[in-house]
Chains A and B, each alone.
Chain A
Amino acid sequence: MQWCWLVSFAICALLPTSVLAEAAVEGRVELPKSHSAPVVVQRYEIITKGGVLSTSPPVAVVYLDGPFSKPKSLPTKQVAQKDLAFLPSLLPVQAGTKVEFPNLDDTYHSIFSYSPAKRFDLGRYRPEEKPIPSEVFDRPGLVTLRCDIHEHMRGLILVLSTPYFVVTDAEGQFRLSGLPSGPHTLKAWIDSKTTREHPVELKGGGTLHVDFP
């Protein structure tokens, strides 16, 4: 019964012309100041500073904290290795998502993670490796991606137990829509050590404005 509801919910969520009463949240996350000079092509990379992993320039992941039941199938996501960096450098996924790690460089990569949320080791693989090495991330938590060959490479996969999440833009603006109504906790992941939260009472059809200071 419950999963029927969930399936219908998912279908509704996928339909842009959904008529179901859905809530939305928008607002702004106050991001830490980026000290890097603005560049034309913004490339996001994971930087570590004082043991804290964050993206640079900083972005945040805003999500509606679960738990929400896992759908039967989830779209496969990709974290590519391009120019000796992970692309995207920060990937939020719902728990249970399969993530592929295509090697778009001309060199070998050996992606692994010792993070408690997910330990895996893809071993060395060539560009154009088929099938594309992949892992399923089914435990919520932050997974640090490393390359055994290129020690500077860092990537983050934020495994969430919710399907409602969005990455802010560089200014911290976000908009989450299609949210279930009811009392929830809206969270903003800013870096590996900082997650802000905000209780929200979502109502169908309404758009709530939440700012994270």
Chain B
Amino acid sequence: MSSTALNQRGVASFRTKLLAAIMLVVSALAALGLYFTERKVMGDAERDLRLDFQAELSSLHKVQELRHAALAERCSALVSKPRIHAALEDNALDLLYPSAKDELRDLMEEEEPASKQAASSLHARFYRFLDGAGGVLSPPHPKDVGVLSARAEAQLVLTKLPETQQIGYLSEQADPAGETVDEVMAVPIFSTETGNVISALVVGFKAFELAGKRADAEMRSGIWVNRRLHLPSLPPSTQAALSSEIANAVARFDRPQSNFTVTVNGALHLLFYKRLNPDSLFSPAYEICLYPLASSIARQHRLRWQVGGAGALLLLVGFVASHIVAARFAVPVEQLAVDSEKNRAQRKRAEAALASTSEELKRSARYSADASHQLKSPVTVLRAGLETLLAREDFTPEVYDELSALLHQTYRLTGVIDDLLLLSRMDAGHLQIGCEPVNLSHLVEEWLDDLGALPDSLAVKIEKEFPAELYVAGEKRYTSLIVQNLLENARKYNRPGGRIRVVARKENNWVVLTIGNTGRSIAPRAQEHIFERFSAGANVSGHGLGLNLALELARLHQGHLRLLRSGEDWTEFEARLPAAPPGSDGVVKSA
């Protein structure tokens, strides 16, 4: 009962382990799926926004390029005007701005366009000329050329005059509400006399603003220039904080464009920046785009839930499946466990039975041995008495015959007792045989001689076919007993005028001895029992131990004895005994 409980506990533990393993795998898969999905979502969001930023920028750039091209054309036409050249070259700087005023009138005096059309318009907010050292030539009437604060004007100063057109950005406290950013274009003025750059015209425009095209993403854009951020939709303090972050990023990455995440008003944002005026002599300016990550984070959360739900579902399915699988897996295992339990019980029973049988066998063998000894003594006494009686000469011949018959019976009794004794020793496992080369041919010859000397009326013809030297490994006494038993049987069950054929040969590691004889065959039903004890033929004298003894002895020699055939006036036995290997010896204990 306890073993069954133990067994069930084992099975349950196996199931639990299997379940745990499957759940572990499912959990790991779900976690991995979650991880990769989240990464993908984040990466996708970033990529989408970057693409959006790039698209915004590229559209901005297209517009800017158009304006720049138009502007550059205007400006280069302008700076090649003879009056401007004359003013610069003929040292008539006082006439510079008045001359330019006429030329730039259309640019300056156009109606300030609505912000939407700002992109296509060439309305200039101000213009200035730079002197040979890059400093700003002060205009005589700033109102005519666009008023600039001293700080803004200082931003126009270049370290040297540009050889090519330059784009710059400057922040300007245009109105009390906040700062505006102007885009400036500097066009070099080459002297017609020397070919050198003698001045530059700087024209300032209202900077473009990125218009967020994505309705869902509340993109905010601005410009970061002179370490100041201009993102009008943000409060100044936030702008200042962001500005320093951008400054750090720009200093750290040293790349014309990049992105990083920032927290604005407590919400996570992705900030892109890109240099607007690469390789410009003006201070670097960056286009800044701020994308709220709220939607992507929400999507991420949603996905996390979805993946988590899917994982849980998977886990549940896995649980059920694992349960089923575990049960299926467990069935054979349980069966195995039950079977093994059964087998164990059976084995125990068999062992117990074996033990008792062996005990019984031992007891019976001991009994048989005891009995043999107890029997031998009275037989010997009996024989001695009979021989004494035979020695007397005062009996009638009938009495002598009777006494002789009795004496013969005592000999027969002695033979039976000897056989029983031997068998009982074998059964008890006490018989030990040596393992020495025995010349089987010699043994057969001896027994055949003895057979021929026996006084009987059968007149049996002997046929022999074996080499003179044929050695088997065994003990001579018992090998001889096997040969004796077989030969005696061959003579005993023969018919008058019959024959005995003895053949011996070596087959591989075996010596095969076949002894056949003519005479009545053994009935098929009796053939099965001829090797059992006390199963001699009913009509022939014999105590029925000989064949059994011969078989047991052959087995003791690791050999075998069997009936080859019996029928049609011919019965043949075959004994297989191990051939003696050259120079071998040892002791084989009977099983």
Interface residues, chain A, with chain B CB atoms under 8 Å away: 48-53, 112-116, 119, 144, 146-148, 151-152
Contacts and interface: CB of A to CB of B under 8 A. Distances in A.
Contacts of A147: 82
A151 B90 contact: no
A148 B193 contact: no
Contact of B86 (A51, A52, A144): A144
Given A115-B90, A144-B86, A146-B86, A151 B95 contact: no
A53 B191 CA distance: 13
Interface in B80-107: 80-83, 85-87, 89-92, 95
Contact of B90 (A50, A52, A144, A148): A144
Given A51-B191, A151-B192, A112 B86 contact: yes
Nearest to B195: A50
Interface of B is mostly: loop
Contact of A119 (B80, B89, B95): B95
14 contacts: A48-B194, A50-B194, A112-B82, A112-B86, A114-B87, A115-B92, A116-B91, A116-B92, A119-B92, A144-B86, A144-B90, A146-B82, A146-B83, A151-B81
Interface string B62-85: 000000000000000000111101
B194 A114 contact: no
A112 B191 contact: no
A148 B192 CA distance: 14
B92 A151 contact: no
A51 B91 CA distance: 12
Contacts of B86: 112-114, 144, 146
A51 B194 CA distance: 5
Contacts of B95: 114, 119
Nearest to A49: B193
Nearest to B96: A114
A152 B81 CA distance: 10
Contacts of B193: 48-53
Given A48-B194, A52-B193, 19 more contacts: A51-B89, A51-B191, A113-B86, A114-B83, A114-B90, A114-B95, A116-B90, A116-B92, A144-B89, A144-B90, A146-B82, A146-B83, A146-B86, A148-B81, A148-B83, A151-B81, A151-B82, A151-B85, A151-B192
Question: Which interface residue of A50, A53, A114, A115 has the most chain B CB atoms within 10 A?
Answer: A114
Contacts of A116: 90-92
Interface residues of B, number: 16
A115 B86 CA distance: 8
Nearest to A151: B82
A115 B88 CA distance: 10
Contacts of B85: 146, 151
A144 B192 CA distance: 13
Contacts of B194: 48, 50-51
Interface in B185-203: 191-194
Contacts of A49: 193
A196 B194 CA distance: 23
A151 B91 contact: no
A103 B464 CA distance: 163
Contacts of A114: 83, 86-87, 90, 92, 95
Nearest to A152: B192
A52 B194 CA distance: 8
Interface in B279-337: none
A32 B305 CA distance: 91
A152 B82 CA distance: 8
A115 B85 CA distance: 11
Q: Kindly list the 9 A-B residue pairs having the minimum CB-CB distance in the complex, ordered from nearest.
A: A114-B92, A48-B193, A114-B86, A114-B90, A51-B194, A51-B193, A151-B82, A146-B82, A115-B90
Interface string B166-204: 000000000000000000000000011110000000000
